């Protein structure tokens, strides 16, 4: 048997059977090219394929493995026009990294000749995902709080509001009837002149905000009540903004007396957000609007907390003088630090004294302390002598004379059923004598506050 006959009768190098009538060149090309053309496509092969088949047969007959000859549909990795396979399909899973593993054929356009080199497909390098760019958080404005807004707290438990019942009028029906009869027979000219003088005192213009400090020697004598009455009176007669500020964090009653249903921002909270660029509309967003006009800044939310710091008080009062013509400060009782600071820095002062012997005696000691200050504050101090019971045994004239010896003005505030009942103050329910006393007290205080430069 000749060498040619032995080559035709040997099986394919990859184990495929080659019959006597089969074309072994096509079998070899099909195996080497990853599935070449069948017998029906034999006439379409070019002379390059025949030459490749002759070289493959010669190497097979000699018993040595020939070089890998790429087919027309799978150009070699270094041939011109070769397409680099993807990394994921570069090797078979069973034979990783095998050098003779044929690559997958690349599709050839139908309008391109078979032997024409396939242009290289541009390999796009893998671009990593860009790192997320942090979005800058805008800083809060100068008039916005840095901390979250506190929760609103009611000034009184709703059950206590129901227990208050209907408030009483300051004067009884008998007194109101007798006063109405006296008006019919008396001349009103004197009353009109007095009210005109008081209104003129209350409406004096101010160049800068005036601060009026209200304090007492102990609690429960009517300090917050007098502060609320002054704030409401000044707001009624003046056309510029009036603020009533609470500087007593020991569960003061000023918000209740001013008629506030709930409070949120306190004096200490406002001290941390005040900024020189704030406008009046920005500041009032942190205050409690009073029903009949004016504004309120409480010292607490009805809970026991830390006392108001002196630095916070000074910052708030100095800053708010730009926005409010008059600020009535309900201070803590003496000799507290904030109370002593308020009495020393205010334009006018009100010392509330109970109409009792021990109360008048302690108030006189406070007046002597005010006289020893570097700049005497007695000239701008007014004493409010408050009667909290209708059965007072101390003579008002004798008590007022004892206090006037220190060089101050004393205004007696009589007993009032409406004020003694507690709860929100309604000015229309005040007794006639109480209303006149409060007007005189406000006029005396405002006259002293305006004269201070």
pLDDT one-digit tens code per residue, 16-56: 444 444 565 666 566 656 544 444 444 444 444 444 444 44
* Residue 136 predicted with pLDDT over 60: no
Block residue for tokens 């109101």: 176
SS3 226: helix
SS3 103: coil
Give the ranges where 238-356 is alpha helix by DSSP (H): 254-257, 267-271, 280-284, 310-320, 337-345
CA-to-CA dists, residue 212 to 50, 204, 265, 310, angstroms = 116, 15, 22, 17
Calpha distance 151→435 (Å, rounded): 36
Greater model confidence, 110 or 226 = 226
Band of pLDDT at residue 65, cut at 50, 70 and 90: very low
Q: Return the pLDDT at 164.
A: 74
Average pLDDT score over residue span 89-105: 43
Percentage, residues of the chain above pLDDT 90: 40
Calpha distance 412→434 (Å, rounded): 9
Q: Return the pLDDT at 330.
A: 95
Band of pLDDT at residue 128, cut at 50, 70 and 90: low
> Which pLDDT tens digit goes with each residue over 161-171?
777 778 889 88
Q: Return the pLDDT at 243.
A: 97
Greater model confidence, 229 or 73 = 229
Calpha distance 164→431 (Å, rounded): 19
Q: Which one of 142-146, 163-167, 279-283 scores highest in mean pLDDT?
A: 279-283
**To the nearest whole number, what is the mean pLDDT of the chain?**
76
Q: Return the pLDDT at 34.
A: 55
Band of pLDDT at residue 124, cut at 50, 70 and 90: low
Greater model confidence, 46 or 358 = 358
Percentage, residues of the chain above pLDDT 70: 67
Edge-to-edge, what's the strand order for the sheet holding 348-354?
288-289, 295-297, 242-247, 326-331, 210-216, 348-354, 381-386, 409-413
Calpha distance 257→290 (Å, rounded): 11
Band of pLDDT at residue 6, cut at 50, 70 and 90: very low
Determine contact, residues 243/326, Cβ cutoff 8 Å: yes
* Residue 328 predicted with pLDDT over 80: yes
Average pLDDT score over residue span 205-222: 92
* Residue 61 predicted with pLDDT over 60: no
Helix or strand (DSSP H, E) at 185:
helix 173-185
Q: What is the DSSP letter of 187?
A: -
Lowest mean pLDDT among 116-120, 323-327, 365-369: 116-120
Average pLDDT score over residue span 173-189: 80
Backbone angles phi, psi at 143, to 5 degrees: -105, 10
Band of pLDDT at residue 134, cut at 50, 70 and 90: low
């Amino acid at each position: 048997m000749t060498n040619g006959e032995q080559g035709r009768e040997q099986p394919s190098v990859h184990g495929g059977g080659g019959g006597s009538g089969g074309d072994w060149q096509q079998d070899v090309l099909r195996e080497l090219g990853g599935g070449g053309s069948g017998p029906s496509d034999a006439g379409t092969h070019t002379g390059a394929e025949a030459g490749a088949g002759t070289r493959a047969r010669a190497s097979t007959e000699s018993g040595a493995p020939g070089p890998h000859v790429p087919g027309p549909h799978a150009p070699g990795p270094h041939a011109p026009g070769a397409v680099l396979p993807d990394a994921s399909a570069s090797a078979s899973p069973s034979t990783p990294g095998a050098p003779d593993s044929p690559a997958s054929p690349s599709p050839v356009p139908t309008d391109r000749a078979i032997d024409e080199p396939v242009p290289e497909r541009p390999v796009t390098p893998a671009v990593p995902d860009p790192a997320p760019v942090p979005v800058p958080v805008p800083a809060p404005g100068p008039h916005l709080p840095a901390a979250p807004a506190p929760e609103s707290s009611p000034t009184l438990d709703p059950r206590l509001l129901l227990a208050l019942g209907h408030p009483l009028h300051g004067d009884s029906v008998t007194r109101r009837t007798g006063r109405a009869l006296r008006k019919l027979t008396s001349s009103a000219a004197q009353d009109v002149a007095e009210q005109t003088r008081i209104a003129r005192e209350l409406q004096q213009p101010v160049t800068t905000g005036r601060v009026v400090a209200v304090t007492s020697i102990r609690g429960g004598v009517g300090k917050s009540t007098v502060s609320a009455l002054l704030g409401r009176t000044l707001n009624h007669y003046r056309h510029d903004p009036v603020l009533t500020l609470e500087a007593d964090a020991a569960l003061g009653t000023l918000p209740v007396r001013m008629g506030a249903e709930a409070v949120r921002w306190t004096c200490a909270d406002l001290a941390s957000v005040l900024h020189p660029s704030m406008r009046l509309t920005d500041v009032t967003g942190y205050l409690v609007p009073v029903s009949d006009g004016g504004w309120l800044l409480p010292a607490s939310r009805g809970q026991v907390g830390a006392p108001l710091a002196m630095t916070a008080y000074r910052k708030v009062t100095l800053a708010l003088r730009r926005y409010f013509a008059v600020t009535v400060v309900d201070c803590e009782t003496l000799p507290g630090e904030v109370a002593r600071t308020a009495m020393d820095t205010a334009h006018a002062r009100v010392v509330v004294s109970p109409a009792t012997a021990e109360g008048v005696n302690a108030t006189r000691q406070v007046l002597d302390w005010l006289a020893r200050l570097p700049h005497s504050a007695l000239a701008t101090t007014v004493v409010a002598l408050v009667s909290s019971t209708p059965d007072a045994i101390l003579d008002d004239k004798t008590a007022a004379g004892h206090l006037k010896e220190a060089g101050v003005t004393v205004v007696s505030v009589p007993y009032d059923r409406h004020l003694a009942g507690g709860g929100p103050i309604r000015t229309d329910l005040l007794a006639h004598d109480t209303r006149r006393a409060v007007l005189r007290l406000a006029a005396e205080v405002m006259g002293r506050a305006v004269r201070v430069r």
